[in-house]
């Protein structure tokens, strides 16, 4: 076995003491690092909660926009339906009026046809 001198033993102990002091002082830094890590994790948790709230807000807003679009569509389609119903009523009224005047229009056309026939007959007699 190798024997060490007194100075070597003291030097080794001093070196060991310095190492232990550095490790002891690093413990506070390690505590700070762990506390910082916990703080960062808590902030991340808060960010997740904020993201959930923001997502819920955007979902509610999207639902509200869809509801507004549906109301707007229903209103417009309702107005369109009223317009079409009026046009149908007007077309039916127009048909009824046409049906009531058809005989008179036919009689008028007959008179006009007869008049054209008479004009053609006179023209034929003039050309002979």
| Residue 124 confidence (pLDDT) | 83
| Residue 93 confidence (pLDDT) | 96
pLDDT tier, 78 (very low <50, low <70, confident <90, very high otherwise)? confident
What is d(CA 84, CA 89) in angstroms, rounded to the nearest whole number?
9
Q: Is the pLDDT of residue 109 over 90?
A: yes
Q: Is the pLDDT of residue 77 over 70?
A: yes
| Residue 45 confidence (pLDDT) | 94
What is d(CA 110, CA 126) in angstroms, rounded to the nearest whole number?
24
What is d(CA 96, CA 90) in angstroms, rounded to the nearest whole number?
10
pLDDT tier, 1 (very low <50, low <70, confident <90, very high otherwise)? low
Q: Which two tokens stand for residue 14?
A: 């001093």
What is d(CA 97, CA 99) in angstroms, rounded to the nearest whole number?
5
């Amino acid at each position: 076995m190798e024997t060490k001198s007194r100075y070597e033993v003291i030097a080794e102990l001093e070196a060991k003491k310095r190492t232990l002091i550095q490790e002891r002082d690093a413990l506070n830094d390690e505590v700070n690092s762990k506390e910082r890590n916990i703080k960062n994790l808590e902030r991340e948790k808060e960010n997740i909660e904020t993201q959930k709230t923001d997502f819920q807000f955007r979902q509610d807003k999207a639902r509200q926009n869809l509801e507004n679009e549906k109301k707007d569509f229903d209103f417009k389609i309702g107005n369109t339906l009223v317009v079409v119903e009026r046009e149908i009523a007007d077309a039916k009224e127009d048909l009824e009026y046409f049906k009531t005047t058809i005989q008179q229009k036919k009689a008028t056309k007959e008179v006009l046809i007869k008049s054209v026939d008479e004009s053609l007959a006179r023209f034929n007699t003039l050309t002979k």
